[in-house]
A and B are shown apart, each in its own frame.
Chain A
Amino acid sequence: QQQVKQSPQSLIVQKGGISIINCAYENTAFDYFPWYQQFPGKGPALLIAIRPDVSEKKEGRFTISFNKSAKQFSLHIMDSQPGDSATYFCAGRRGYSTLTFGKGTMLLVSP
């Protein structure tokens, strides 16, 4: 089983700060890397995704940084807000295969 290793397991950030979640993958054939956001009691929802031909993708306050040589990618949440408090999952996928998820990061943004 090809793994995606996610860290940290939990994170507390003050309102207005930057939240950073990191993931590392093993399968060099992965060509799609999404991030999902999950609120308590709800299903995950796609937040932002990147392909390995770019090093960074930004959507609003959310940015994915991708380092192909290190086989790592990270999610940065700028100006973190209490409404961003959720569990975040990174994932990887090769072609038309199924997603391989990281174990998740519980983010708490304190007011």
Chain B
Amino acid sequence: DGGITQSPKYLFRKEGQNVTLSCEQNLNHDAMYWYRQDPGQGLRLIYYSQIVNDFQKGDIAEGYSVSREKKESFPLTVTSAQKNPTAFYLCASSIERGTEAFFGQGTRLTVV
């Protein structure tokens, strides 16, 4: 089945540790996105990538980093510089930027 796989579904980390969230897609989409979702805040764009080896900051990129070494993969690292990392993180992809976005099932990160 084609789709977007985010792993793990739940993730716990101690404060001060970096953590990497996985996002893999087999839809052959060029564009991929990372969003952060907090209660009552909607979806806020962290980073997006239109093509391999290229990515741009979204609205709330501070404290996050990404890489796009393969078309299928767009991992997100939440660094210790992110002040409030506990959130629900959503990965999405689209054929190209500006076309319909398909979302993964999300990773709920809790930092204690």
> What residues make up the interface of A, taking CB atoms closer than 8 Å to B?
1, 6, 9, 34, 36, 41-46, 49, 89, 93, 95-99, 101-104
Contacts A49-B100, A97-B98 known; list 6 others, CB within 8 Å: A36-B103, A42-B105, A43-B106, A89-B43, A97-B97, A98-B97
A residues in contact with B4, CB < 8 Å: 43
- Shortest C-beta distance, A89 to chain B (Å), equals 6
Chain B interface residue count, Cβ-Cβ cutoff 8 angstroms: 26
Contact (Cβ within 8 A) B48 A98: yes
Chain A residue nearest to B35 in the complex (CB): A101
A–B complex contacts, Cβ < 8 Å, 20 sampled: A1-B59, A9-B40, A41-B105, A41-B106, A41-B108, A43-B6, A43-B92, A44-B43, A44-B90, A45-B103, A46-B100, A95-B98, A96-B98, A97-B97, A97-B98, A98-B98, A99-B45, A101-B43, A104-B40, A104-B42
> What residues make up the interface of B, taking CB atoms closer than 8 Å to A?
4, 6, 33, 40-45, 48, 58-59, 90, 92, 96-106, 108
Contact (Cβ within 8 A) B42 A98: no
* Interface residues of A, dominant DSSP: loop
Complex: how many Å from CA A41 to CA B45?
Answer: 19
B residues in contact with A98, CB < 8 Å: 33, 45, 48, 58, 97-98
Chain B residue nearest to A10 in the complex (CB): B40
- Shortest C-beta distance, A96 to chain B (Å), equals 3
Chain A residue nearest to B6 in the complex (CB): A43
A residues in contact with B96, CB < 8 Å: 96
Complex: how many Å from CA A49 to CA B106?
Answer: 23
Chain A residue nearest to B45 in the complex (CB): A98
A residues in contact with B40, CB < 8 Å: 9, 103-104
Complex: how many Å from CA A45 to CA B6?
Answer: 15
Q: Which of A41, A93, A96, A102 contacts B42 (CB 8 A)?
A: A102
